[in-house]
Every structure is written in structure tokens, then in C-alpha cells.
Amino acid sequence: MQIGAEMTKVVEGRRIFVVDDSEIFRAAIQFALHDEYETHELESATGALAKAERMKPDLLVLAEDVIRANGLDLIQEYLARIPDAKILVIIDQISSGFDRECVAAGVHGVLAKPLRIELVRDKVDALLSAKKKSDTNPLSVLNVR
């Protein structure tokens, strides 16, 4: 645990899976979150699904490339097999329109690159707080870019 970590978040033991084939992407997101959340890096969608069935993550952070490689049906598969988990997608460009496709497919939040640590942490906090408060936050509030 690092100095400045909010103890209530650490004690709650919220689990996050960061999924992408890019080790640099996974490491950057893991670094941004590791002091307050139990964060796991996974390089494939299938590996994440297998581990999720055993470890039940609270949040999946998926890179755009993971979804594009596996199709938007991947989102529905995650939602069906891990119904209590939230899904946050990191997209390459907001202008591509892929964010709207992901939201239509059921994701709970979207962030566009370039990322700032503070923005990633705020988004994750909002999604996990929404889960804790029985999902009462509207999707439009959570999709702040």
C-alpha cells in the first residue's frame, strides 16, 4: 500500500481486472490503481473470463483492441457470466464512435486516450461506488470523458 491510499477502499478489497495484450497498457492502469484496489493484469479476453469465474472481479477494464479482436459480443458474454462486474472500456479515439457502440452493448463506462491517472482513478471510483450504492447512478453521469 502506498502513502495516501484511502483505507476504506483498501479494506473493501475491490478487485479489478485490466485486460489487454499490451503489457505497457496493463502496467500503466495497474500502476494507477494498485494502491487502492486489488488489480490483476491479464493479456487475453479468454484468460480474463476463466480467472473471473474463480475470482469474481468488481470491475473489468478492457482495452478497445480486446473488444475489436473478439467482437462486441464479448461484452455480452462478460455481462452474462460475471453479472456483478462493471465494465470500463478504454478507447483509442473518441471520434471513432466506438464508445457509443460499447455503451449500446452494455458497458458501464468509457474513457478515451490519452489517459490521465486522476481521470482513471475518478472513473473507477465512480463505477465502484455506483455498484456499492446498488447501481443508482445514471449511465450518462458515469460516461464523463
5 band by pLDDT with thresholds 50, 70 and 90: very low
Angle at CA of residue 107, ends 97 and 63, nearest 5°? 70
Q: Which CATH number fits domain 7-130: 3.40.50.2300, 3.40.50.1220, 3.40.630.30, 3.90.105.10?
A: 3.40.50.2300
Q: Give CA separation, 14 vs 86, 135, 140, in Å.
A: 12, 16, 23
Question: Residue 12 has what pLDDT?
Answer: 62
| Whether pLDDT at 145 is above 50 | no
Question: Residue 131 has what pLDDT?
Answer: 60
Among 92, 98, 28, 90, smallest CA distance to 59 is for: 90
Whether the full predicted model's pTM is greater than 0.85, yes or no, is: no
Q: What is the DSSP string of 86-126?
A: EEEEEES-GGGSHHHHHHHHT-SEEEESSP-HHHHHHHHHH
Question: Residue 139 has what pLDDT?
Answer: 45
Among 130, 96, 111, 144, smallest CA distance to 29 is for: 111
pLDDT in tens, 16-33: 999 999 999 999 999 999
pLDDT in tens, 65-122: 999 999 999 999 999 999 999 999 999 988 889 999 999 999 999 999 999 999 999 9
Question: Residue 130 has what pLDDT?
Answer: 74
Angle at CA of residue 121, ends 11 and 119, nearest 5°? 165
Cell of 126: 465512480
Question: Residue 135 has what pLDDT?
Answer: 42
